[in-house]
């Protein structure tokens, strides 16, 4: 059984008052997508789409936008927001991805910070890959809590957030093996961005608060100094792959 490591109430509580926003042009993830994904008028679907900022990037590239998420606001509010920006909008569903049964293929299937919340992350990845049409793209990104520096910082200073993630999933070479066996060619894979550190809200000891303050104070200097992408400290990991042949489940 594939277990979701995060209770849906956590997401609903965090999303309740969240304002829709576009991903800024300086975002590492946006630059990554723009570099490797061509403009198209095809269909793009985001798995775990709320609050839609990442999906909106594909609207700027001409795609018709589709999405699924368990959050109640996805069907009317997110779809309405994207439409208000002038993007082409397709289908939005409030549904568990494990129960989702797509009735067609997509030019782009993407997820950002999604597969790492499941025990069987490769099963989630495989299901997403199976939704991509021949010649289409799979775009998958997760945070990097596995690299030594990021693992230390998150496990010590951001423990509750750390435990909501399956650290084993954060190994793109494993994704590549599955995708290549499924008829994909790898366009790009690996760490994204230079050093950065983000954290969630939680109760912390005085010692943790002290060290967190020191890290955040030094963060601007470290971001300038450590700009080379590396598994050691980059904040994100990702794979973009293109389907060469239809998937056959042997």
Burial call 14-32: b when 16+ CB within 10 Å, e when fewer: ebeeeebeebeeebbbbeb
If one counts the domains in the chain, the total is 1
- 248 falls within a domain: no
- 46 falls within a domain: yes
In this prediction the pTM is 0.92
CA angle in degrees (0–180, nearest 5) for 14-19-24? 110
Task: Kindly give the confidence (pLDDT) of every residue in the chain, 250 residues in length, as a single tens digit, with 9 standing for 90 and above.
Answer: 566 656 666 656 666 677 899 999 999 999 999 999 999 999 999 999 999 999 999 999 999 999 999 988 888 899 999 999 999 999 999 999 999 999 899 999 999 999 998 999 999 999 999 999 999 999 999 999 999 999 999 998 888 888 888 999 999 999 999 999 999 999 999 999 999 998 988 899 999 999 999 999 999 999 999 999 999 999 999 999 999 976 554 4
- 249 falls within a domain: no
- Give the per-residue pLDDT at 75: 86
- 2 falls within a domain: no
Alpha-carbon distance of 227 to 152, in angstroms, equals: 19
Q: What CATH number is attached to the domain comprising 204?
A: 3.40.50.150
Range of the domain at 115: 8-243
- Give the per-residue pLDDT at 18: 74
- 216 falls within a domain: yes
6-13 contact pairs (CB < 8 A, 24+): 6/117, 6/164, 8/70, 8/71, 10/164, 11/50, 11/70, 11/71, 12/71, 12/72
- 98 falls within a domain: yes
- 227 falls within a domain: yes
- Give the per-residue pLDDT at 37: 98
Closest CA to 1 of 163, 129, 124: 124
- 17 falls within a domain: yes
Q: What is the arrangement of strands in the sheet containing 89-94, beginning at the earlier edge strand? A: 89-94, 64-69, 43-47, 106-112, 132-143, 236-243, 184-192
């Amino acid at each position: 059984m594939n277990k979701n490591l995060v209770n849906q109430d956590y997401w609903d509580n965090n999303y309740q008052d969240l304002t829709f926003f576009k991903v800024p042009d300086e975002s590492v993830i946006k630059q990554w997508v723009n570099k490797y994904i061509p403009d198209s008028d095809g269909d793009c679907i985001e798995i775990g789409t709320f609050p839609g900022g990442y999906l909106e990037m594909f609207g700027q590239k001409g795609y018709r936008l589709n999405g699924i998420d368990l959050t109640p606001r996805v069907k009317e509010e997110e779809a309405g927001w994207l439409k208000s920006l002038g993007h082409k909008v397709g289908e939005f569903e409030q549904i568990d991805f494990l129960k989702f049964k797509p009735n067609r293929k997509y030019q782009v299937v993407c997820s950002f910070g999604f597969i790492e919340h499941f025990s069987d992350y490769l099963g989630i990845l495989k299901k997403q890959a199976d939704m991509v049409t021949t010649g289409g793209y799979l775009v998958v990104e997760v945070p990097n809590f596995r690299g030594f520096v990021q693992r230390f910082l998150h496990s010590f200073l951001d423990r509750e957030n750390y435990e909501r993630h399956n650290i084993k999933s954060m190994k793109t070479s494993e994704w590549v093996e599955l995708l290549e066996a499924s008829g994909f060619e790898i366009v790009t894979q690996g760490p994204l961005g230079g050093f950065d550190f983000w954290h969630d809200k939680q109760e912390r000891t005085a010692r943790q608060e002290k060290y967190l303050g020191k890290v955040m104070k030094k963060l601007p200097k470290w971001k300038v100094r450590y700009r080379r992408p590396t598994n050691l400290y980059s904040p994100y990991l990702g794979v973009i792959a293109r389907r060469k042949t239809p998937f056959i489940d042997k």
